[in-house]
Structure 1
Amino acid sequence: MNEHVYTPEEKRKRIFGIVGAASGNLVEWFDFYIYAFFAVYFQQALTSPSMASGTKQIYVWGVFAASFFMRPIGSWLFGRIADKHGRKSSMVTSIFLMALSSFLFAMLPTYEQVGIFAPFLLLIVRLLQGLSVGGEYGAVATYMSEIALKGHRGFYASFQYVTLSGGQLLASVLGVILLFFMSEQQLQAGGWRIPFVIGGITALLSLVARSRLEETLSAEDSHREESGTLKALFRDHWQSFLLVVGYTSAGSLTFYVLTVYSKTYFSSLGLAAKTVGYMMTVALFVYMVMQPVFGMISDRIGRRNSMLLFSSLLAIFIYPVMVIAMPAFSTSPVILTLMLIFLMMILSFYTSISGLIKAEMFPPHVRALGVGFSYAVANAIFGGSAPAVALQFKDSGHEYTFFIYVIVMLIICFFCSMKLPKEPEYLHHDH
């Protein structure tokens, strides 16, 4: 393998670029996931008191799912900006939008104050967050794949999910801290606003860091007439688009099952909210730390092999672990946490290179759009809907059938992964 030799200055610039893009990504996802971790507290304030508890839960998770349907619009809008005006412009604009929507979330009026407008305003602000995150993924995945050091792209690109899961982890840690200092009643009475204020402030700080990044899009690519257009994407690269949607569907679905829905799942096994908070925090920390390791593994064994391992192993283990083993050990939080970490390890074969395997499928002039739009479409249909779909299965008394659906999606992902290039050499050339 031919190693490209970088000067210390080149290395420093590229690593600063990775850190700058990743830090913004951390903030974006922290702000986005605060919703999932604090939904149980603000659902009382923002929905009708006459609603049944189960209906409130379904509405709040329905809004969570609805925000994912803004992602394709966000990915198209910000993907076009990234491919036409530069990756940096796109990342700066998306983080500004996230700061704005976080502050708006913190100021939402309650149902008691404005009646039926409260759940409606909740939906509007959440859709703004979905728009912002829709633009974030494609631009960051593209930027990190372009600025990463050759031969180590899997390792460097893994920091997208280090920060993505780090955002989740911080949201979880914040939940544990606030529960330590405040009662559940205090959180329901308005304490749930605090995380959104913190999220808005950190987004503004990240905005400053991103404004200093170096651009990776060439003038030649930005001036092409078809740069960042859906027409060019679907005319010339529709096969790559469908393939990325195919393997992202299972990746997003399993990611949300393990990192978001498992919180609800553990609660249904009879564990206390604080205990579940500790379990998720530990599991998410281990998961975050694992990403660079699995990124390095992909640099050795190839993206295709990583994807085949992810889809086959998770299809084999997810049902016996979630449906048989977890209920059997429902009295042991430690064993449950270890089982969740085991499934997250298998998921890491995918998440560590998730952005990179998409970015390597498209040329620079439609790369951010191709990555972001395909990810957003798959995520909207299969990812964001995961908690709501799982709850619907549960309500109908067929909770375990949901995991059969997950396995079917993983099998589809396995066949899509078979289409990826076989030789690891393609990991090391510049695009």
Structure 2
Amino acid sequence: MRETRPDGERAKRRLALIGGSLGNLVEWYDWFVYATFAIYFADSFFPGDNPTTQLMNTAGIFAVGFLMRPVGGWILGRAADRHGRKSALTLTVAMMSLAALLIAVAPTYGQAGYFGALVLLLARLLQGMSIGGEYAASATYLTEASARGRRGLGSSMQYVSMTCGQLLGLGILITMQHTLSKDELESWGWRIPFVLGALFAVVVFWLRRRLQETEAFAEMSAGGGRRDDSRGTLKALWLHRRQAFLVMALTLGGTVAYYTYTTYLTKYLIGSAGMEKSTATLVSFTSLTVFAVLQPFAGALSDRIGRRPLLITFAVGCTVGTYPIMTALRSASSYWSALSLSLLALVIVTGYTSINAAVKAELFPTGVRALGVALPYSIANALFGGTAEYVALWFKDAGHESMFFWYVSGCALVSLITYVLMPDTRNVALSRAEAEAEAGSAVEPGSPLQEAKS
């Protein structure tokens, strides 16, 4: 049943979605630009003659950033549940700005030995904390700020903005590839995107301070929901441990597939398919552009048919399709063949990315929603998403690259079982006001078992 809202209310929701999405874009630009430009700065911090080993070192630091995501998810998720989504979103972008600035000024191996690699490591740890809180705060904010019948569409903006952040980084790389020489890019050009990232984050910090709090959190703070000290605590989360384990299981396959076909794809096309760096970058840029456009359509579809059909379609496609797609990509000899295969993979992944934020937020009540999304999601990402690129390169270095394809399929299979067994969350009420709007509703708002009448 679709809500009828006055024009002012719709405009308020629209502004909230735009404001939350712009901040998310800059956060993920800063996060992904490290992986995007690693092919140019890897040998600046890790000398040697083996390009794969150099990329493994930079990928290792990329993965270490994920280890801080559970810490950031816990600290900032707790802050979002106790002090509001807006305050957590403002803090995350400030942390990201500082981290980008640290990478921009990090000394190379020739200037300071491995001290530069240490600066990279510290910056990635700070970025990991920031992004651990950002995912949960933005997922919660975008879902709560959306009308009840359009939460799939609204939450899909998270991956639209996340992907646009990647595209911004790739666009800057493509521009620099055509304006700077390879030597200039490797000596100093790679620092430019990190300087820009720090500046973008400062602007977003100012914008986020002007966001409005969501109705669900404002209602709870005003007395419409729980007001005890357990909000945003691990004790409160433990009461919803089944949902927390669900978040980890449903994230497993999606995060491995996403990082395989986004951050690792360019390196795979260069290192395994033998493509030129500029061609591989263009393939990634074009496929991600289409991927971003698909997200709202898939999110809106989930508002009509439910979340589970899309999740199951993704998991089946990834389980049976990863090996043939990745094998074919390794033999891709042209831009168009690589683009077609990349698009096929990302269309499959869209079944997860377009709605996973809404699904996770819909599993928890308001008082523990941000922490409930943040901590289990961050743990799953630290164990599987952040290590995907490193695992892929490890298999390649060991001479068994195709084993990684089976690894991705196996992770998707675990999530497929989860999707089949879990309830559909499309009709869950996220606030008491939404629950009371349904005559005869007697189930706690946010309960994953609540199914409102349509």
Report if the CA contact (8 A) 1:27-1:202 is conserved: yes
Residue of structure 2 aligned with 1:385, choices 367, 384, 387: 387
Does 2:300 align with 1:296?
yes
Report if the CA contact (8 A) 2:322-2:406 is conserved: no
Residue of structure 2 aligned with 1:359, choices 361, 365, 383: 361
Q: 2:41 is matched with which residue?
A: 42
Q: 2:322 is matched with which residue?
A: 318
Q: 1:209 is matched with which residue?
A: 207
Between the aligned partners of 2:226 and 2:401, the Cα distance in structure 1 is: 49
Matched residue of 1:148: which SS?
Answer: coil
Between the aligned partners of 1:111 and 1:332, the Cα distance in structure 2 is: 36
Q: Which deviates further from its counterpart, 26-35 or 55-64?
A: 55-64
Measure how far apart 1:231 and its partner are.
1.5
Matched residue of 1:102: which SS?
Answer: helix
Q: 2:348 is matched with which residue?
A: 346
In structure 2, the CA distance between the partners of 1:426 and 1:82, relative to structure 1 (3 Å rule), is closer
Amino acid at match of 1:319: Y
Does 2:144 align with 1:140?
no
Measure how far apart 1:52 and its partner are.
4.0
Q: Which deviates further from its counterpart, 138-147 or 102-111?
A: 102-111
Q: 2:104 is matched with which residue?
A: 106
The equivalences for 1:241-320 within 5 A come to: 241-267=244-270, 268-320=272-324
Measure how far apart 1:408 and its partner are.
1.1
Measure how far apart 1:423 and its partner are.
7.8
Between the aligned partners of 2:396 and 2:226, the Cα distance in structure 1 is: 49
Report if the CA contact (8 A) 1:85-1:222 is conserved: no
Measure how far apart 1:427 and its partner are.
7.7
Measure how far apart 1:53 and its partner are.
3.2
Measure how far apart 1:340 and its partner are.
0.8
Deviation sequence 1:23-64 (CA, Å, 0-9, x none): 0000000011110111111122222x3574332221110000
Report if the CA contact (8 A) 1:91-1:210 is conserved: yes
Report if the CA contact (8 A) 2:273-2:330 is conserved: yes
Matched residue of 1:260: which SS?
Answer: coil
Measure how far apart 1:420 and its partner are.
2.5
Report if the CA contact (8 A) 2:362-2:428 is conserved: no
Report if the CA contact (8 A) 1:91-1:136 is conserved: yes
Measure how far apart 1:327 and its partner are.
3.4
TM-score normalised according to structure 2 size: 0.91
Unaligned runs of 5+ in 2: 436-444, 446-454
Report if the CA contact (8 A) 1:86-1:222 is conserved: no
TM-score normalised according to structure 1 size: 0.96
Between the aligned partners of 1:43 and 1:222, the Cα distance in structure 2 is: 50
Matched residue of 1:271: which SS?
Answer: coil
Report if the CA contact (8 A) 1:279-1:333 is conserved: yes
Between the aligned partners of 2:379 and 2:65, the Cα distance in structure 1 is: 12
Unaligned runs of 5+ in 1: none
Report if the CA contact (8 A) 2:295-2:353 is conserved: yes
Deviation sequence 1:111-143 (CA, Å, 0-9, x none): 122112111111111111111111100000001
Between the aligned partners of 2:371 and 2:425, the Cα distance in structure 1 is: 26
Number of aligned residue pairs: 426
Measure how far apart 1:11 and its partner are.
0.8
- With CA pairs under 8 Å and 6+ residues apart, which has the higher RCO, 1 or 2? 1
Between the aligned partners of 1:6 and 1:332, the Cα distance in structure 2 is: 50
Amino acid at match of 1:107: V
Measure how far apart 1:262 and its partner are.
1.3
Q: Which deviates further from its counterpart, 82-91 or 298-307?
A: 298-307
Report if the CA contact (8 A) 1:251-1:350 is conserved: yes
Matched residue of 2:212: which SS?
Answer: coil
